[in-house]
Amino acid sequence: MIELLGDWKRTCYCAELEEKDVGKRVTLMGWVNRERDHGGLTFIDLRDRSGIVQLVFGPDIDPHAHEKAKKVRSEYVIAVRGEVKRRPLGTENPALKTGNIEIWCYEIKVLNVAQTPPFPISDDEEVDENVRLKYRYLDLRRPKMQRNIILRHKAALWVRNFLSSQGFLEIETPFLTKSTPEGARDYLVPSRVNPGCFYALPQSPQLFKQIFMISGFDRYFQIVRCFRDEDLRADRQPEFTQIDMEMSFPTEEDIFDISERMITGLFKELLDVDIDRPFPRVSYREAMLKYGSDKPDTRFGLEISDITNVFKDTKIKVFRDVVEKGGSIRAIKVPQGQKLSRKDLDELVEVARSFGAKGLAWFAFTSDGIKSPLAKFLSEGEINALRELLSIENGDILLVGADENEEVLAEYMGRVRLSLPARLGINLQGYKFLWIVDFPLLQWNEEENRYEAVHHPFTSPKEEDIPLLDTDPLKVRARAYDMVLNGIELGGGSIRIHSSELQSKVFKLLNIGEEEAKEKFGFLLEALSYGAPPHGGIAFGFDRLVMLLAGEDSIRDVIAFPKTQKAVCLMTGAPSPVTAKQLKELHIEVKL
């Protein structure tokens, strides 16, 4: 039954045909999306990557083709020759791009047969994700996945063309590199010809793109694969793609400008959405105070306020203890908070506790007074101070958290804030971009009793803060910046250290000794000593960007062959054991 294609050549894709093509003879190829027999006529919906068109077979068109068409089934691969006809009035299908036309077919070839798929090749039914990933070749036939992968191609093409037009050069960097574990774990690759030695798959091309700047290629970009052996989430994969950029002689404003023009141009090109620029700038400190996050979603208000001073002499013991220990008290005012049921309030308390809070207080302001388990401990002065400070009206509810640990307090108040829109019926729409700036350069690692870089060790401190490296390192701000969209970090970067002396000083602060620095980064330190220009850049998570453009919730829906949350490819079975011979060649012994 299976036939050869022979000299048949496809003349166009299915969904490219329009009414203006009526009367034209065409050759189409694709998959049988659906077949149905209506008495004397047989109809087949033919699908390819462009969409669907209806084929018509009948004894009056060609009896031989009609008999063959009656035997095809869903997902058979076929080729047909026929004439474009306008559908009879009243039979049009407005759901299809080709809904006003059909193809009267006088020849058909069955190029391959197919088993019944384990799930429908359509967007109409929910399918377990593990099943989809096991049969990814079928999942990728579904219209949504076809649209997403085509959108990904268009996004990459637009970015390449835009950056090329701005003088950037796309230059490849190695995949087999040196292990410099400063962030996530490296994926290691054993070297057969250098026993006991390993390559690392790059977590980013960071050092190589800095080398490009030293080499005189003053504008570099790459849409590049990166690898990190880290715990996975909906927006993380062990291998992912970045839009990687670097510039020589830039200010932060130069990088903001080129990045904003690239992103707004992409949204205009692919979604026809106009995005205002320049994007707002919010300092890291302000973001953590107002939103409890360094990647805030600003599509809604409900900002967090510091109310510590209101309770400096309070009778509420838990608040008083926090204030005496130098901690803070913060609140979210929920206008018309009566929308929150008692069940909602109890669940919000649990949200806070799940992120480290000892509890979460709430105060409902009504015309009859304050309703709260802590109401009897509130003084009249505190009530009036809260009303004035936060412009509270009757009907509002105040959610209050207190903690001596500023990071824990910011985290759980931020999580409580993010859980409110769904409970309040707030419809989150649109695209809210912003830059987070003035990150701290360093943070203290209690477990290892040392400073560590907030971003990476090559980030430059702000010039005015460099003296603080000797006196108060935790107060040093970085020349780092993140672009955030709707609560998701799209990209991050920094102005780099271009002085070998300053780079050595930062290594020393990070407890990276001279020998260790030479071992891990000696080639960079040496390169910096040969006339490195000031330089900086940014990297955007391409998978996340396409996910947002496609309106999806997971990057797995915009990657052709993703891994599961356990870093497994269900389709191929990777990772998998290898033979004893392969291990012997690599001088590796496996002990489980």
User: Can you name the CATH fold of 300-424?
Assistant: Gyrase A; domain 2 (3.30.1360)
Residue 437 has pLDDT above 70, yes or no: yes
Contact predicate 393/334, CB 8 Å = no
Give the pLDDT score at 261.
Answer: 98
pLDDT at 156 over 80: yes
Position 142 scores a pLDDT of 96
Confidence at residue 235, expressed as pLDDT on a 0 to 100 scale: 66
Highest mean pLDDT pick, 186-200, 243-257, 306-320? 243-257
pLDDT band at 305 (very low <50, low <70, confident <90, very high): very high
Tokens of residue 430, six digits: 């649109």
416: its two tokens: 């409580």
Exposed e or buried b per residue across 58-74, where buried means at least 16 C-beta atoms within 10 angstroms of its C-beta: beebbeebbebbeebeb
Give the mean pLDDT of 279-292: 96
pLDDT in the model for residue 447 = 84
Domain boundaries, the chain: 14-112, 300-424
Q: Which of the four pLDDT bands, split at 50, 70 and 90, describes residue 187?
A: very high
Q: Residue 256: pLDDT band by 50, 70, 90 thresholds?
A: very high
Average pLDDT over residues 81-110: 95
Phi, psi at 53, each rounded to 5°: -135, 150
pLDDT at residue 241, rounded to an integer: 97
The span from the CA of 314 to the CA of 317, in Å, is 7
Phi and psi for 80 in degrees, rounded to 5? Answer: -135, 155
DSSP code per residue over 108-169: EEEEE--PPPSS-SSSSS---HHHHHHTHHHHTTSHHHHHHHHHHHHHHHHHHHHHHHTT-E
pLDDT tens-digit map of 364-419: 998 888 898 988 888 889 999 999 999 999 999 999 999 999 999 999 999 999 99
Mean per-residue pLDDT for 8-18?
Answer: 96
Q: Is the pLDDT of residue 136 over 70?
A: yes
pLDDT tens digits, residue range 526-544? 999 999 999 999 999 999 9
Task: Evaluate if residue 120 carries a pLDDT over 80.
Answer: yes
Amino acid occupying residue 524: L
* Interacting residues of 18 by C-beta distance below 8 A, sequence separation 6+: 98, 101
Strands (E), 391-534: 397-403, 433-437, 442-445, 450-453, 480-485, 488-495
| 504: confidence class by pLDDT, cuts 50, 70, 90 | confident
**What's the pLDDT band for 182 if we cut at 50, 70, 90?**
low
Residue 456 scores a pLDDT above 90: no
In the chain, pLDDT over 90 holds for what percent of residues? Answer: 80
pLDDT at 367: 85
- Residue-averaged pLDDT of the chain: 93
Helix or strand (DSSP H, E) at 9: none
Query: Distance (Å, rounded) from C-alpha 517 to C-alpha 49?
Result: 51
Of the candidates 482, 152, 134, 466, which has an alpha carbon nearest to the alpha carbon of residue 295? 482
Compute the residue count for the chain: 592
**pLDDT of res. 183:** 65
Strands 304-306 and 328-334: antiparallel
For residue range 225-255, list pLDDT tens digits in order.
Answer: 999 988 766 668 999 999 999 999 999 999 9
CATH 3.60.10.10 fits 14-112, yes or no: no
Q: What is the pLDDT at residue 181?
A: 62
* CB proximity list for 73: less than 8 A, separation 6 or greater: 32, 35, 113, 114, 116
Beta bridge partners of residue 403, listed in sequence order: 328
342-354 and 406-418 are packed helices; what angle lies between their axes, rounded to 10 degrees? 140
What does the block give as tokens for 211? 């080398």
Sheet architecture: strand order including 535-541 = 169-170, 219-227, 239-248, 535-541, 488-495, 480-485, 433-437, 281-283
